[in-house]
Amino acid sequence: MSNLSAFLNQNAIKNENVMYVASDRFLDEERKPVKWELRVISSEEDEVLRRNCTKRVKVIGNNGKPTGQFTSEIDYNSYVAELCVASTVFPDLKDVELQNSYGVMGEAQLLKTMLTAGEYVNYTVKVNEVNGFDTTFEDKVEEAKN
């Protein structure tokens, strides 16, 4: 029988938050880029995000007309934005003063407004990496071999 104690919560290695410079445009008092803080979300949180970003879409038949059936489809752009928001610890995207300074309402809109297009894409890549979405099965096999 295998040792199940390795799977006990108190024995699991905890995920640490990651510091990341999302933009060179936000500087501290010493004129150094401010690091943003990212966290790993739980699979339960991810499930809620996916569910909230899923919509029902009518199925279109071969004749180009709706069949009366529906299918579920995830809005990938909304999901990625919500994943980024849920993973961001600092800056506090819920802060009303911060939102007001950019003239927006809502965390996702704030994030997209604060960052340039390229910065936002890089941020989404980092958030995916922090949450473990960048690791392929082959990478895991190689890591297990070493």
Q: What is the 3-state secondary structure (H, E, C) of the chain?
A: CCCHHHHCHHHCCCCCCEEECCCCCCECCCCCECCEEECCCCHHHHHHHHHHCEEEEEEECCCCCEEEEEEEEECHHHHHHHHHHHHEEECCCCCHHHHHHHCCCCHHHHHHHHCCHHHHHHHHHHHHHHCCCCCCHHHHHHHHHC
pLDDT value, residue 1: 42
Range(s) of the domain holding residue 102: 15-41+76-131
* Residue 124 belongs to some domain of the structure: yes
CATH number at residue 92: 3.30.2220.30
pLDDT value, residue 22: 97
Question: pTM for this one?
Answer: 0.81
Number of structural domains in the chain = 1
The 10s digit of each residue's pLDDT in 40-78 is: 999 999 999 999 999 988 888 888 787 878 888 889 999
pLDDT value, residue 20: 97
How much is the average pLDDT of 80-96? 97
| More confident of the two residues 90 and 67 | 90
